[in-house]
Amino acid sequence: MKALTWHGKRDVRVDTVPDPSIQDPTDVIVRVTTTGLCGSDLHLYEVFGPFLEPGDILGHEPMGVVEEIGPEVTALRPGDRVVIPFNVSCGTCWMCDQGLHSQCETTQVREHGNGASLFGYTKLYGQVPGGQAEFLRVPFGNTLPIAVPPGPSDERFVYLSDVLPTAWQAVDYAAVPPGGSVAVLGLGPIGDMSTRIAAHRGAGTVIGIDLVPERLQRAQARGVHTFDLDEYGDDITKAVQEITGGRGPDSVIDAVGMEAHGAALAKGMQQATTLLPDALAAKLMQRAGVDRLSALYLAIDLVRRGGTISLSGVYGGMADPLPLLTLFDKQVQLRMGQANVWRWVDDLLPLLTDADPLGVEEFATHRLPLAEAPAAYDMFQKKRDGAVKILFTP
């Protein structure tokens, strides 16, 4: 089959690799019909090379059609249409029963002290072959795939793999009071969808902050109060306070993460680490890694006293300096973590099967053949051509 594979920093290629096969009796093989490019894939493209090997298959946002089932699969049959969550979760352990699928005890990567395995996301999360490919082996065939109805376009459902549950959890964790205010930092796929979900769930004032004109315009068209960080600079906090009663927003969602704009010193440290031999770089990142924290610092500055910060952007630093005095003094609540996809499926499916209140059918800015994936990664990283959400057709 054809699959997108990692070969080095900013070097991904569409290669011919062996087809996946049934390995366990509850496995299913899915023929991928649509698969997404996620902002967190760019961390693999740029930073996480020490935890990858040449030939690793990337991608964790696939959907498709069941081609083959293992002998113990009873919940699906060939021809069924399914979305595959990015968490590799069993659905039956204690953590899954608590709705904490990203902490699944069956697939935790204990070697690295991490939570559940993820499709297409490094040795730190199980080195499971990903979904930017023509076919995908999916374990836990009775409990992991999300069955969706035939008929509507893939765009109706593919975001159940990651974007929708991640944004829904980000808003849920943000604890926006009814009619309250929320600021979303970063208007990429997760930030953009978070603004839509926040409005749908009753936020009175939704604020979006970014640097990219096309992303700001896209959010503004849906009623979001947008601020261009390049334009406001150090005055951004004052500007946001002016439309939130002088206090700041009740909640802030950081949808940016470890590769925030600015923070030249931390950026230099990240880049220098990627130049080291993999074994040394991996140890350094695990013990002394530092993220670019511009977005998180801004979130702490923006949020009102007694408010809540929700982190959905990926952070990976082990030695990040945090202003704990400010967090304590402002009585800030902080929630974070990988999305627990299955926890939110019942909330999300009704929004996808009739009307389209979140605008999922128009959410993608680019739909490309998988063969163009290397160029798409470059375009998405450099924020060219209005790229917000890219879908591939294998």
The percent of residues in the chain predicted with pLDDT above 90, rounded, is 81
Per-residue b or e along 247-282, where b marks 16 or more CB atoms closer than 10 Å to that residue's CB? ebbbbbbbbbbbbbeebeebbebbeebbeeeeeebb
Q: What is the pTM of this model?
A: 0.91
Question: How many helices and strands (H and E) does the chain possess?
Answer: 13, 17
pLDDT higher than 50, residue 275:
no
| DSSP bridge pairs for 16 | 2
Strand, helix or coil for residue 150: coil
Name the least confident of 6-10, 85-89, 278-282, 381-385. Answer: 278-282
Give, in degrees to the nearest 5, the angle at Cα 189 between 187 and 191. Answer: 40
CA distances to 27, 84, 129 from 143, in Å: 10, 11, 19
Alpha carbons 127 and 129: distance in angstroms, whole number:
6
| DSSP bridge pairs for 391 | 36, 367
pLDDT, tens only, 170-225: 999 999 999 999 999 999 999 999 999 999 999 999 999 999 999 999 999 999 99
Higher model confidence: residue 259 or residue 78?
78
pLDDT of residue 268: 47
Per-residue b or e along 158-187, where b marks 16 or more CB atoms closer than 10 Å to that residue's CB? bbbbbbbbbbbbbbbbbebeeebbbbbbbb
Q: How far is CA 288 from the centre of its chain?
A: 24
Are 308 and 250 a contacting pair, CB within 8 Å?
yes
Return the biggest CA–CA distance within the chain: 62
Ramachandran quadrant class, 233 (left: phi over 0; alpha: psi -120 to 50; beta: rest): left
* Structure tokens given for 75: 């919940």
pLDDT of residue 318: 61
Residue 200 identity:
H
